[in-house]
Amino acid sequence: MNNKVVIITGAAQGIGRFIATAFAKKENHVVIADINEKKGLELVNEIGKWGGSAIFVKTDVSRVADIENLMNQANQHFNGIDVLINNAGISVFSNPFELTEFDWEKVLNTNLKSVFFASKFAAMQMKEAGGSIVNIASTRALMSEPNSEAYAASKGGILALTHALAASFSPLKINVNAILPGWIENGDYSALKESDHEQHFSRRVGKPEDIARACLFLADKENDFITGSQLVIDGGMTRKMIYEEDL
């Protein structure tokens, strides 16, 4: 795919940065949405140096007004929207007896509310030509560690929202799918231990590029038979049985 207008939220760093770069290298027009203006503009400049097409729109995805502005800016600059990657997210891990209303709402507004409103406003610009929406959830929507209630609720909500939006947007030829990353290492990959890799059937920890390639796949119009789906990308980690001697 190429020459598409692709919006990626939370694109200034981490997995989002790799997703934005992957789409730009396929000769798409990339809209980098992030609250971090410095890193966002750095990425725009980096993409521009090798001839890619990208703009930055400062966006706090927890604010509906910012999301609506993002979609309007993308449409005005590139005359339409083809793909939305809802990637932005935060985590707050807290004992449930100590989790505050403020932190609960901060996580749910950033991780879940943003997915609905970004999808809504993007779909309004996709109406004539159709398009693709990819929501980045997490394997934590399927399994948990202690003290992860807010994050788990937000990621679990994304899965339900994904198939609901797929149903509602079907007449508009807009596909909606979710990716559930497992352990994706954004830091020093060489610092990982052998035991880290051995926790996976794939015998390695995931990399951001693994998620970026999946986004390219789901956004490709040739794969429009895939909608309302959940793609787990975790090296088989959630399917590996753990026995006491493994611990």
Q: pLDDT digits over 61-71, tens only?
A: 999 999 999 99
Per-residue pLDDT averaged across 235-241, rounded? Answer: 90
The encoded tokens of residue 132 equal 């693709």
Q: How many domains does the chain have?
A: 1
Q: What CATH number has the domain bearing residue 25?
A: 3.40.50.720
Who's near 50: CB < 8 A, 6+ residues apart? none
Assign 3-state DSSP to the chain and report helix, strand, coil percentages, each to 5: 50, 15, 35
Alpha-carbon torsion, ordered 154, 161, 239, 20, to 10 deg: -80
Task: pLDDT band for 247, please (50, 70, 90 cuts).
Answer: low
DSSP 52-85: -EEEEEE--TTSHHHHHHHHHHHHHHHSS--EEE
Q: What percent of the chain has pLDDT over 70?
A: 98
Per-residue pLDDT averaged across 91-119, rounded? Answer: 97
Per-residue pLDDT averaged across 106-134, rounded? Answer: 96
Average pLDDT, the chain: 95
Range of the domain at 209: 5-246
Of 151, 162, 199, 200, the catalytic one is: 151
Taking only the tens place, the pLDDT of each residue in 187-212 is 999 999 999 999 999 999 999 999 99
Q: Does the active-site annotation cover 151?
A: yes
Per-residue pLDDT averaged across 184-188, rounded? Answer: 92
> What pLDDT is stored for residue 128 in this prediction?
81
The encoded tokens of residue 133 equal 């929406």
Per-residue pLDDT averaged across 127-146, rounded? Answer: 93
Say whether pTM exceeds 0.75. yes
> What pLDDT is stored for residue 146 in this prediction?
95
